[in-house]
Copies of this chain bind each other. A is one copy, B any other.
Amino acid sequence: MNKQNRQFSIKQIITHQVISNQDDLCQALGKAGFAVTQATLSRDMKELGIARVNTAAGHRYILHVESEERRLTSMIGYEIESIDANENMIVIKTLPGRAQGVAEIIDSVRHPAVLGTLAGDNTIFVTPSSVTKIPEIHKLLKNLMTQKKLDVG
Contacts and interface: CB of A to CB of B under 8 A. Distances in A.
Question: What is the interface of chain A mostly: helix, strand, loop, or mixed?
Answer: mixed
Contacts of A42: 54
A128 B56 CA distance: 37
A96 B68 contact: yes
A68 B55 CA distance: 9
Given A11-B97, A63-B95, A101-B15, A115 B54 contact: no
Interface string A119-133: 111110101111100
A143 interface: no
Contacts of A87: 130-131
- Report the interface size class on chain A: 35 or more
Say how many copies of this protein the assembly contains.
2
A98 B64 CA distance: 12
B64 A62 contact: yes
B129 A123 contact: no
B51 A62 contact: yes
A118 B103 CA distance: 13
Contact of A96 (B65, B88, B91, B92): B65
Interface of A: 8, 11-12, 14-16, 42, 45-46, 49-56, 62-65, 67-68, 84-89, 91-93, 95-98, 100-101, 103-104, 107, 115-123, 125, 127-131
